[in-house]
Chain A
Amino acid sequence: GENVEQHPSTLSVQEGDSAVIKCTYSDSASNYFPWYKQELGKRPQLIIDIRSNVGEKKDQRIAVTLNKTAKHFSLHITETQPEDSAVYFCAASSPRPSGGSNYKLTFGKGTLLTVNP
């Protein structure tokens, strides 16, 4: 099955700096890669996603890049703000091995991002 590795486990930056979180995946059939932000005690919230037919996607201060050949994808946050502090999870999704459109998510272990004022 799919295995997703995420680094770093913790990241501390100064307000205004950029933050980069990296993930690798193992299943070449994975074709959808979302990123979730989870604040303490809250639900994971989808912040950006990318499909395998695209190499990069940007939404204001957040961008995601995907390298299918190397099987890795990254989250980039520019001009970080204290409210960006949270745990960020990457995930990979693919159809079931037997086919169909299940698209379960396999998550990385998360990155605790702290943005210091």
Chain B
Amino acid sequence: EPEVTQTPSHQVTQMGQEVILRCVPISNHLYFYWYRQILGQKVEFLVSFYNNEISEKSEIFDDQFSVERPDGSNFTLKIRSTKLEDSAMYFCASRSGATYEQYFGPGTRLTVT
């Protein structure tokens, strides 16, 4: 069964550094999402992406964040200048156009020191 994949599984970075989190959505899916989960808390929506543009973003998704689909398979989340409070698990999800179901990747644990 196809799955969403994410790399790296764990990223440690220093405050102020840029990080890029990578996702490969399920191949025939059209809608792509980033969520984050701070340790012990609920999953929070960051941004959704469809037809090569952002369709919705949350208040968390400020100017330090950007997303890109550089080719037909990858979907990336960039944080330009990381802060301590960006430490969290970041999940990518994808959805086909025919159903509502979102399928999550295994996550990237980002640790900002």
Give A residues with C-beta under 8 Å from B: 32, 34, 36, 42-46, 49, 51, 89, 91, 93, 96, 100-110
Q: A96-B56, A100-B55 are in contact. Are A106 and B45 (CB under 8 A)?
A: yes
* Closest A residue to B91 using CB positions: A43
B50 proximity list for chain A (CB < 8 A): 102
Contact B42 A108 (CB under 8 A): yes
Contact B104 A32 (CB under 8 A): no
The one of B43, B56, B93, B105 that contacts A102, using a Cβ cutoff of 8 Å: B56
CA distance A45 to B91 in the complex (A): 12
In B43-95, the 8 Å CB interface with A consists of 43-45, 48, 50, 55-56, 91, 93, 95
In B90-108, the 8 Å CB interface with A consists of 91, 93, 95, 97, 100-107
With A42-B106, A51-B100 already in contact, 14 other A-B pairs whose C-beta atoms are closer than 8 Å: A36-B104, A44-B104, A46-B102, A46-B103, A89-B42, A93-B100, A96-B56, A101-B31, A102-B56, A103-B102, A104-B45, A107-B43, A108-B42, A109-B42
* Closest A residue to B100 using CB positions: A32
* Closest A residue to B109 using CB positions: A41
Q: A49-B101, A103-B31 are in contact. Are A43 and B107 (CB under 8 A)?
A: yes
A36 proximity list for chain B (CB < 8 A): 104
Min CB distance A9 to B, Å, is: 11
Q: A103-B31, A108-B42, A110-B42 are in contact. Are A43 and B105 (CB under 8 A)?
A: yes
Which of A36, A103, A104, A108 has the most chain B CB atoms inside 10 A of its CB?
A104
